A and B are shown apart, each in its own frame.
Chain A
Amino acid sequence: MRELLALLIPACAIGVFLYRSAGLTSARATVASLALAFCLGIGFSSIVSTALIVIGVAPTSRAFVLVDLVLWAIVAVLGWLNTSSTPNFQLPSSNLSTPKRPQSLDWLAPTAFGLTAIVALISVIASSRAAPHGDWDAWAIWNQHARFLFRGGEGDAWRGFFSIVWSQPDYPLLLPASVARVWAYAGHESTLGPVVIAMVFGIACVTLVVTTIGGRHGWIAGALMLGATTFLAQVPSQCADVPLACFIVATLAVTFGDALRIPNPESRTPSLIAGATGAMAAWTKNEGVVFVLLMLLIAVIVVVRRRDGRQFLWSIAGAAPILIVVVGFKLALAPSSGLVEGQSLAVILTRLMDPARHLTVLGLMAQHAMRWSAPFAFAVFPIVSLVAAWMGVRFGGVVRVMAIVLGLMLASYYVVYVTTPFDITWHVTTSVDRLLVQLWPALVLTVFLGLQSSVPSPGWTED
């Protein structure tokens, strides 16, 4: 249970900050902010843990937990002292939600989602019991790095994994440092630690989509997310793909989906939070760097079009501390990525010009996308992607922007595959399913936000 306590402490501290600064107006916004608090709590505490290990405070020492506790207590106090920029802001009465006449089948969607979620949870727990160390990449990369940080934290032995080329030593430390921190609180290494972290991210992912969309649409979106068994199987895998998916969907939900439902449109909180979650994506996995750059590009375009950079600056304020850590890690600690090691511009261009490589990558990606979540789904990812693309074209606005972001993410994965120095077939077949998992929650969010913008009422009927 100490593992859970380790996650609760930063979540509560950030929860206090969100509660005080966002002025949460509904149960839905409160649940969404709880999910955000857990994700950001894990993210920020991993940065604190990494800093402590780098300066020589071992996770096995009492000082580690003590410093961590004191820091989070300070954050909670500062969060409590922090007040909303406009605490008494009220929505115009016409915008306040009016009580909706209950319909006889209102209970169906939440019940169906509830059943799906319970069975999904059973599946995740059973998988975690069957494979307590997680999937291949979990024990070969993420939990292995966590063991280096936890066991070798007293001296410099933790740096050992930087020399293990096959264990992706350049990957950021959000997940390994979080696992090491949870073990520090538990007082020993336990397989429960990474399992709890994996489950928190999985639950947060679904919660963010369900609460951002809201109503019956939200419940159905949640069921659709969980019904994709490749996504569901990745939750207990203890790899970084679901955490990355969580930070991607959190950023999009806060930026475009009004997840926190803050009544004051001038509030700085959503921009701060979106900046932080976006940067956390980069601190989770290298693919997150692409996402941050894309979001930055979109933010710059918005600033230029609106001629108002205030929200952009708040996003930068939320992202900057984390991005500094990511850049510091990449420049000062981690070796270069296997994907860029020894690559020259000439080699990359030659590979990009090779039609055979394009055909191979396209064929393999299409094949995997069609079979994603098989045998109970066929072409679910391509179908939902096409719907998202169609909605982006049809409805424009935030749906179009979200569809463009996800399309560009997919395109970036494609370019990396075409230019990979590794065997293409091996590289694509061993990773593309997980890359699609990273985008799945955001894709579902895009489609359902599009659906909402097409339907005037909160329901899904077309009467």
Chain B
Amino acid sequence: MSYTLFAVRFSLARIAAVIVVVWALVSVIAAARYAIMRGSDPVAALETEFRSLSHALPPSGPVGFLRYDIDDDRADRVMTYYVAQYTFAPRVVEKRTDLEFVIVVPDAVHAGVDDRLAGFMPIATSKEGYSVYQRRAQ
């Protein structure tokens, strides 16, 4: 099927092609604009924090992670735990405190004395207050 307008012949296929191409161009421009305006990545910042603690941990094996008492499965808290694992690989970061080393996120610690960290002492702390605790020698 084709139509003629102002001496230019249009076919439905040609019109469809033009629509697809214009739509594609508008879409990728919008995508590029979004990508350029995108804010900084929280993962990179968290990774830098955790990376500064790596030296305090053994090169492999399991490492503890102090869980949040409340809302431990909240997205941002899950992300913090996952980024810790991503950063400290090939160590395996586990949400438990019965290990030699425990990674402690600032807002996971109870105000005052946290019984879960009894017998531990901090051995390294990052700029934002993320810490590695080590069990005190008996």
Contacts and interface: CB of A to CB of B under 8 A. Distances in A.
Interface of A: 109, 112-113, 115-116, 119-120, 122-124, 126-127, 130-133, 136, 139-140, 143-144, 147-148, 151-152, 155, 157-158, 160-161, 163-164, 166-167, 216, 220, 223-224, 226-229, 232-233, 236, 373, 375-377, 455, 460-463
A362 to B, nearest CB: 27
A119 B36 CA distance: 11
B90 A152 contact: yes
B4 to A, nearest CB: 12
A120 B91 CA distance: 38
A160 B60 contact: yes
B24 A164 contact: no
Given A120-B31, A152-B60, A139 B24 contact: no
A147 B82 contact: no
Interface in B67-85: 79, 82-83, 85
Contact of B47 (A133, A155, A461): A133
A388 to B, nearest CB: 15
B38 A161 contact: no
Contacts of A120: 28, 31-32
A136 B14 CA distance: 41
Nearest to B88: A147
A152 B88 CA distance: 11
Interface string B9-42: 1011110010011011111111110111011110
A158 B61 CA distance: 10
Q: Which of B25, B31, B41, B79 has the most CB of A within 10 A?
A: B31
Contacts, number: 145
B89 interface: yes
A226 B24 contact: yes
Interface of B: 1-2, 9, 11-14, 17, 20-21, 23-32, 34-36, 38-41, 43-44, 47, 59-61, 79, 82-83, 85-86, 89-92
A151 B89 contact: yes
Given A152-B60, A227-B24, A130 B89 contact: no
Contacts of B39: 130
20 contacts: A109-B17, A109-B21, A122-B32, A126-B32, A132-B41, A133-B47, A133-B86, A143-B86, A144-B89, A157-B59, A161-B89, A220-B17, A220-B20, A223-B25, A229-B31, A232-B28, A375-B30, A455-B13, A462-B12, A463-B11
